[in-house]
């Protein structure tokens, strides 16, 4: 995919999980030349980066892996190995919340979008089957869009803005899986588990595992997840 053909460019945030894999499939299906952006942020599960690598190969996308040391912060079960990943649903925002994570990821995606002259940034946030994270809510995404509209060189020089696209925002997990299945996503190439082992096997007990398993059941699509 090069910049000389007529395809518009998109930056797709790709964790390697089920939602972001579906996002990549949607963006590619819409005809975007995709640059997938993954983060090494000190997360517990490094298998998700390997999953992201497999996914971009499928879609012929460019792939950038950015390092941001969010484990410097501490304060989250995902980046601080002295904390346990919760295995029972909790009231309120769970300990897997990483401070300002989506804000930081979207900001770095915005930088890439400026450089690539991308029309859109795709992010697989979801406001239904999610874990209560503040930075997955529609009102948060709208506010990020308004900020981004004022942040870039192109917005000042010729009024062009980068669109933050959230195609999964109002979908249930089973609807996301059905969409991806229809688009040919191979979900065996994705890792959702917060504490997957090195080769990507899931724990089956964390929030992410429970939502994923339930999604496949409700979508009546065989679940290719391998559990440890």
Please report whether residue 104 would count as binding a second copy according to CB under 8 A: yes
Q: Are strands 33-40 and 163-165 parallel, antiparallel or unpaired?
A: unpaired
CA distance readout (Å), 172 to 58, 136, 207: 25, 14, 15
Please report whether residue 90 would count as binding a second copy according to CB under 8 A: no
Interface with a second copy (CB under 8 A), residue from 20, 45, 96, 102: 102
Q: Which segment (43-51, 55-63, 150-158, 218-226) binds a second copy by CB under 8 A?
A: 150-158
Footprint of a second copy on residues 45-84 (CB under 8 A)?
Answer: 64, 66-70, 72-75
CB 25 within 8 A of CB 185: yes
Please give the size of the binding site for a second copy, defined by CB under 8 A.
46
Q: Which residues pair with 163 in a beta bridge?
A: 120
Please report whether residue 101 would count as binding a second copy according to CB under 8 A: yes
Pick 143 or 199: Cβ nearer a second copy: 143
- Which of 128, 69, 62 has the alpha carbon at shortest distance from 101? 69
Q: Which segment (13-21, 23-31, 143-151, 187-195) binds a second copy by CB under 8 A?
A: 143-151
Interface with a second copy (CB under 8 A), residue from 140, 203, 213, 223: 140
212 contact partners, CB below 8 Å, separation of at least 6: 18, 173, 192, 193, 202, 223, 225
Distance, CA of 105 to CA of 114 (rounded, Å): 14
Pick 49 or 151: Cβ nearer a second copy: 151
Rounded to 10 degrees, the C-alpha dihedral 1/112/117/179 comes to: 60
DSSP 8-class letter at 79: T
Q: Which segment (49-57, 98-106, 179-187, 202-210) binds a second copy by CB under 8 A?
A: 98-106
Please report whether residue 137 would count as binding a second copy according to CB under 8 A: yes
> Which parts of this chain interact with a second copy (CB under 8 A)?
64, 66-70, 72-75, 92-93, 97-104, 106-108, 110-112, 114-115, 134-135, 137, 139-140, 143-144, 146-153, 155-157
């Amino acid at each position: 995919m090069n910049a000389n053909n007529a395809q518009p460019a998109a930056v797709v945030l790709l964790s390697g999980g089920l939602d972001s894999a579906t996002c990549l499939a949607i963006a590619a299906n819409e005809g975007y030349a995709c640059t997938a952006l993954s983060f090494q942020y000190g997360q517990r599960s490094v298998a998700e980066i390997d999953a992201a690598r497999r996914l971009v190969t499928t879609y012929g996308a460019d792939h950038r892996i950015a390092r941001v040391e969010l484990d410097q912060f501490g304060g989250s079960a995902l980046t601080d190995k002295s904390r346990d990943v919760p295995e029972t649903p909790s009231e309120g925002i769970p300990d897997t919340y990483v401070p300002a994570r989506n804000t930081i990821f979207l900001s770095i995606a915005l930088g890439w979008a400026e450089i690539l002259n991308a029309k859109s940034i795709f992010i697989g946030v979801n406001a239904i089957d999610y874990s209560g994270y503040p930075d997955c809510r529609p009102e948060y995404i709208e506010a990020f869009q308004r900020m981004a509209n004022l942040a870039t060189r192109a917005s000042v020089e010729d009024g062009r803005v980068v669109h933050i696209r959230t195609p999964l925002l109002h979908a249930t997990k089973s609807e996301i899986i059905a969409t991806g299945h229809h688009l040919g996503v191979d979900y065996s190439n994705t890792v959702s588990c917060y504490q997957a082992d090195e080769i990507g096997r899931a724990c089956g007990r964390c929030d992410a595992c429970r939502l994923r398993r339930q999604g496949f059941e409700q979508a009546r699509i065989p679940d290719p997840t391998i559990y440890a």
